[in-house]
A and B are shown apart, each in its own frame.
Chain A
Amino acid sequence: MDNHLTPQQQDLLIEDALKTFPLAPMPRSITPNVMARIQTNTRPAIVTLNDFALSLVIAVCIGAILFALQNLPAVAVMEFRKQSILLVQGFLVNARWLVPSMMFGLASLFVALTIPYLGRQLMK
């Protein structure tokens, strides 16, 4: 007797097996565990207390800088400007290579920072 199934019969058997593959019974209900966890894990609010605290610190810092700048003596402001101009001129005259080097270094640093992320993506 030829026991070989035709391709159509094979397909039908496979379809039948796939459609009748049983759902695994749950060993226990997880509803109580889930409900216990969501009672303690409250949904994050749109703006949290930490956001307010951080905003306050940043605002105070910006205010302090502005206040300090407004209240500097005129001589100090002039000295500050003079030193800034001298610094820029110093760079331009003595270290023309420094700015591109720093830019290149920063670019390299940013590229290096992406390596862990790219590694994770490749591992997926």
Chain B
Amino acid sequence: MPDNETTLIQKAQKGDHDAFAALVDEHQRYIYNLALRVVKDENEALDLTQETFVRAWTALPNFKGQSQLRTWLYRIVTNLCYNRLPALRRSLTDFGDDVMEDIPENNLTLGNPSHDFESNETRSYLHHAIEELDENYRLLINLRYQNELSYEEIASTLNLPLGTVKTGIFRAKAQLRNALATLEDSWTTT
């Protein structure tokens, strides 16, 4: 946690509104983004973001700094999402933890300039496929890749076993692989 943020948190815990406003400015985009990816509705996501910070203000004196503030905020917004979408929590726990492996996360080095255009097209297609994933997968993917949480942090945030988180992300990627296969089929048929 940056020193500046620690100072802001301490001030906000003592009731400093300006310090809290700075924290809201800093984190609102990520909280909004997470809410939007789950509920897929702009106004609802704004409501959830606002409610997250109001609850954070109320509970801030109890924040001991054992986790990062952003992780704590993600936990609040996720709980609010659970309230809005009661099936979300169950669908996450239903993953189980049978798949512990994961796709190795390498940097993209396809190594052929002729693939650039195709890659951009494929990337856009996959971005669309990510948006079309189920809400439980979108939540996991968002926490992992956009909010850059580790698997352990996601498990802690969502209060799920580590294996369940890994299984969920593995299955989300499997769905993206299927989407990519469909795209490949369209290449071969055209």
Q: What is the CB-to-nearest-CB distance from A12 to chain B, in angstroms, rounded to a whole number?
A: 5
Contact A43 B146 (CB under 8 A): no
Interface size in chain B (residues, C-beta < 8 A): 53
What are the interface flags for B78-98 relative to A under an 8 Å C-beta threshold, 1 for contact and 0 otherwise?
Answer: 000010001101100000000
Q: Whole-angstrom distance from the CB of A121 to the nearest CB of chain B?
A: 10
Known contacts A35-B21, A124-B90; is A13 also within 8 Å of B184 by CB?
no
How many A-B Cβ pairs are below 8 Å?
A: 124
**Any A CB within 8 A of the CB of B160:** no
Q: Which stretch, B1-9, B28-36, B66-74, touches the partner chain A?
A: B28-36
**A9 on interface, CB distance cutoff 8 Å:** yes
Q: Which residues of B contact A34 (CB under 8 A)?
A: 21, 24, 50, 53-54, 57
Interface SS majority for chain B: helix
Q: For the complex, give the distance between the alpha carbons of A37 and B127 in Å.
A: 36
Q: Which residues of A contact B162 (CB under 8 A)?
A: none
Q: Which of chain A's residues 1-50 have a Cβ closer than 8 Å to chain B?
A: 3-5, 9-24, 26-31, 33-35, 37-39, 41, 43-44
Check A17 against B176 for contact (C-beta < 8 Å): yes
In the bound complex, residues from chain A placing their C-beta under 8 Å from that of B86 are: 123-124
Given contacts A24-B33, A30-B49, contact A5 B184 (CB under 8 A): yes
Closest to A28 in B: B46
Consensus secondary structure, chain A interface: helix
B182 on interface, CB distance cutoff 8 Å: no
List chain A residues, Cβ under 8 A from B21. Answer: 31, 34-35
13 contacts between A and B (CB under 8 A): A4-B184, A14-B176, A18-B145, A22-B127, A24-B32, A27-B42, A30-B50, A31-B25, A34-B24, A34-B54, A38-B53, A41-B57, A124-B82
Chain B interfacial positions (CB closer than 8 Å to A): 15, 17, 20-21, 24-25, 28-30, 32-33, 36-37, 42, 46, 49-50, 53-54, 57-58, 61, 82, 86-87, 89-90, 103-106, 108-110, 119, 122-123, 126-127, 129-130, 141, 144-146, 173, 176-177, 180-181, 184, 187-188
